[in-house]
Structure 1
Amino acid sequence: MLLYNKQKKNQTAKGNRILISVTVLGSAGPIRILANEEDLVASVIDVALKNYAREGRLPILGSDFNDFLLYCPMVGPEALSSWSAIGLLGARNFTLCRKPEEKKVEEGNGRSNSNVNGGGGGRKGGSLKAWINKSFSLKVQSH
Structure 2
Amino acid sequence: MAVYRQKKNQGPKGKRLLISITFLGSAGPIRLIVNEEELVAAVIDTALKSYAREGRLPVLGSNLNDFLLYCPSAGSDALSPWATIGSQGARNFKLWKKQRTEKVEDDGRSSTQAITTNEDGNWKAWTNKFLKLKISSH
Provide the TM-score with structure 2 as the length reference.
0.72
The answer for unaligned runs of 5 or more in structure 1 is 115-141
Deviations 1:78-100 (A, max 9, x none): 10101000001100000000011
1:23 is matched by which residue type in structure 2?
Answer: T
Alpha-carbon distance between aligned partners in 2 of 1:102 and 1:91, rounded to the nearest angstrom: 31
SS in 1 for 2:46: helix
The answer for the alignment partner of 1:32 in structure 2 is: 31
After the TM superposition, which segments of 4 or more aligned residues of structure 1 sit over 2 Å from their partners?
A: 5-13, 103-110
1:74-127 C-alpha deviation (Å, 9 max, x unpaired): 00011010100000110000000001111334399471266xxxxxxxxxxxxx
Kindly tell me: are residues 103 and 54 of structure 1, through their superposed partners in 2, closer, same or farther at Cα, counting changes over 3 Å? same
Structure-2 residue corresponding to 1:89:
88
Partner of 1:47: 46
Counterpart residue number, 2:117: none
Q: How many residue pairs were aligned?
A: 114
Greater per-residue strand proportion: 2
CA distance in 2, matches of 1:85, 1:91: 12
* TM-score in terms of structure 1 length: 0.70
Find the aligned partners of 2:103 and 2:110 in 1 and give their Cα distance: 9
Counterpart residue identity of residue 104, structure 1 = K
Corresponding position: 1:111 with 2:110: yes
Indicate conservation of the 8 Å contact 2:101/2:112, yes or no. Answer: no
Matched, 1:62 2:64: no
In 1, Cα distance between equivalents of 2:9 and 2:93: 27
1:54 counterpart letter in structure 2:
R
Question: Are the equivalent residues in 2 in contact too, given 1:106–1:113 (CA < 8 A)?
Answer: no
Instruction: Name whichever structure is richer in helix by fraction.
Output: 1
Give the secondary-structure state (helix, strand or coil) at the position aligned to 1:79.
Answer: coil
What is residue 11 of structure 1 aligned with on the other side? Answer: 10
Percent of aligned positions that are identical:
62
Q: Report which of the two structures shows the higher radius of gyration computed on alpha carbons.
A: 1
**CA contact 1:15–1:37 (8 Å) conserved in 2:** yes
